[in-house]
Amino acid sequence: MWEEKLKIYDELVNKCPRFERKGKSMIYTSANGYMFSLLNKAGEIGIRFSKEVQEEYIKAFSSSTYKSYGAVMKGYVLIPDHMLEDLDNVANYLNESYDYVMTLNPK
């Protein structure tokens, strides 16, 4: 199952030419010194937003906060499996997340 999710994650990131997937065991995207998406060991995809947008999207997606290695990831929204049927749509959220981290002070 994890391998299948990795393929989906790679396909998703490939739809976003401004950044690329990083990591070998921990799979993620980052820009401006911040991670903004993650594939955890449970095969769940999380995308980072501002606190306000996170709360809005948790409701809109009927989702929850995102956990990786037992820790709640600040600003991240768990992307429900049903949304992965439309990767073009999810790519819009991933691009929005990239735009968000680019507004933060560089690390």
pLDDT of residue 25: 87
- How many structural domains does the chain have? 1
The Cβ-side half-sphere exposure at 18, using a 13 Å CA radius, reads: 13
The two structure tokens encoding residue 6: 């990795």
**Containing domain of residue 21, as a range?**
2-103
pLDDT value for 23: 96
The predicted-structure confidence for 6-41, as pLDDT tens digits, reads as follows 999 999 999 999 999 999 989 999 999 999 999 999
pLDDT tens, position by position, 47-104: 999 999 999 999 999 999 999 989 999 999 999 999 999 999 999 999 999 999 999 9
> Global pTM?
0.97
CATH number of the domain at 41, please: 3.30.1460.30
Residue type, 62: S
Average pLDDT over residues 40-44: 95
DSSP assignment of 54-72 equals: HHHHHHHTT--EEEETTEE
Measured distance CA(70)–CA(89) in Å, rounded: 28
